[in-house]
Amino acid sequence: MATAYQSAEGETVQPGSNPLPSPYLLFLGDTTEPGYAKTAFGLRDWARDRCVGEYALPNAAVTTGLPRLGFADAVARGARGLVIGVANRGGVIPDAWITALEEALAAGLDIVSGMHSRLAEIPRLAAAANRHGRRLVDVRVPPDGIPVASGRRRTGQRLLTVGTDCALGKKYAALSIARALRVRGHAVTFRATGQTGIMIAGHGMPIDAVVADFVAGAAEMLSPDAPADHLDVIEGQGSLFHPAYAAVSLGLLHGSQPDLFVVCHQPGRREILGHPGCALPTIGDVIEQTTLLGRVTNPAIRCAGVSLNTASLSALDAEAVINDTAQRIGLPVADPIRGGEAFDRLLDACRI
């Protein structure tokens, strides 16, 4: 029987109010790069109560640490949906996955996907879903009626997470900041812009699936007028310096009209993920570029601080790099997942 659960907003979501078929079995495909399994990791970390385990093909080299289950075992444990936990380059569903996905449908699981490839447009999957009476749910589908951006300043406050690259913590930073400020008693809403965030929050805007002319309008639609003391914490996408995805990042920046932004970075990363030889920008580069371009729609935009993803570092090394970065740039710096006094200082700076 489906039970209520806590959403990323801290609200109780009742059975039937979320259209996604949970609990989930997380599908890792044949992924070998952890950065491309960010959907699975995001659901594990932020919707753990809705995840029964993981399923991976033999060549996969990534694991969430959840129980490795077959489809029948997952259904026996209550799973209702197989979530494609991969966000690969181009958002494609490879042919090598199709047989396993057909087997999942036959076992009684619906399939939930955040990929650009539409499940129902894959003939074998469409036929299998029809044959077994299962649903194919595509999350990365923007709503109808998205307007061209107006550029009108909206009421309320907005914070956008931006990055030196993809897949380094913009979603985690936004979720952490929103949750912590809510605990402090502030009126805060997390605004999801990617497939994983939408699956976690139950709503949002798949910004990179929006036609280019309407990206800024979609961001305006995502974060509407609000009371003066209300803060929307908007999940960032890509990087203004990314050779493939900068256009999405720019449209989101202009439409969000953020009063504040937090730069997200992973210490030790030297190249853009998936683009060998393409050097990562510095944190200072991102602050300068974001401020310059953000002034197009909000002349008062400013950087609140920096979020570092120090998951690969020891506690001692993480503290050292956090302190060094803060001293170098003169702004609050923290790893939101580690928390502590450094994160408290970042939170203090995330209010106008």
CB 167, CB 195: distance < 8 Å: no
Local structure of 64: helix, strand or coil: coil
Nearest 10 degrees: CA dihedral of 276, 45, 187, 154? Answer: 30
Query: Using one digit for the tens of pLDDT, what is the confidence trace for 175-219?
Result: 999 999 999 999 999 999 999 999 999 889 999 999 999 999 999
CB 124, CB 194: distance < 8 Å: no
Is omega for the bond preceding 258 within 30 degrees of 0, making it cis? Answer: no
Average pLDDT, the chain: 93
CB 43, CB 196: distance < 8 Å: yes
Query: Using one digit for the tens of pLDDT, what is the confidence trace for 74-127?
Result: 999 999 999 999 988 778 999 999 999 999 999 999 999 999 899 999 999 999
Domains along the chain? 21-138 (3.40.50.720), 157-349 (3.40.50.300)
Query: Using one digit for the tens of pLDDT, what is the confidence trace for 312-323?
Result: 999 999 999 999
pLDDT of 15 over the 60 cut: no
Query: Using one digit for the tens of pLDDT, what is the confidence trace for 235-288?
Result: 999 999 999 999 999 999 999 999 999 999 999 999 998 899 999 999 999 999
Residues whose CB falls within 8 Å of the CB of residue 136, separated by 6 or more in sequence, listed in order = 110, 111, 113, 119, 120, 125, 126, 129
